[in-house]
Amino acid sequence: MSNFLKRLEISRRRKRRFPSSDDWFSDMDSMFEDMFRDMANTIPKELVREKRLPDGSTVREMGPIVYGYSMSVGPDGKPIVREFGNVKPSGQQIGSGPPKPGLTVKEEREPLIDVITEGNQIRVVAELPGVEKSDINLQCSEKDLTISVDTSQRKYRKTMELPVSVDPDTPKASYKNGVLEVILKRQEPRTKGKEIKIE
């Protein structure tokens, strides 16, 4: 059991016997300190920094640590859940002890993305705050789209499977106020096969 959970249990017992708000807040402060100390063991070293304060003391900064998801309804009426951030949960909470297989915290973040099917085109909208247009790299094939950014301040990467086959030669992209928009034309299915000559 991690220090965080032990302290939480002690706090609950103490609260039942001695319901003092000062003790409760003090215990919460201690639990959060333990949680952040444990968290430093589960994230990449690139996301942990020490900063010297004007009084000569140092503080440890971590992050960014981001996890979230968006939900929408696909054209077939089924829900679509898209995760974003740089944490992939596996049932283990961040800060609940040494890392276990399945929990990954990466330096690269997955941006929040919406994929919208509109008639004969696909519109991909991605939130990429804090970067310049020149920092964004886009790669497209008939089946998927990859968005990546690699700067000293921000790192984003996401490869997404597209809901329909698209023409990789005709995309249009724009970027404004931290939002990237890519328009892809649906590729018409080939109705005629290609003749193969026998040698």
Map out the domains of the chain as residue ranges: 3-39, 67-185
pLDDT tens figures, 97-132: 554 444 566 778 888 888 888 889 999 999 998 899
C-alpha distances in Å from residue 135, one per residue of 5, 8, 100, 199: 42, 44, 34, 49
The predicted pLDDT at position 68 comes to: 72
Q: May I ask the CATH architecture of the domain 67-185?
A: Sandwich (2.60)
The pLDDT value recorded for residue 101 is 42
Distance CA 3, CA 37 (A): 10
pLDDT digits (tens, 9 = 90+) for 130-166: 899 999 999 999 999 999 999 888 888 999 888 888 9
Instruction: Tell me the whole-structure pTM to 2 decimals.
Output: 0.55
In the chain, what are the helix, strand and coil shares in percent, each to the nearest 5?
Answer: 20, 40, 40
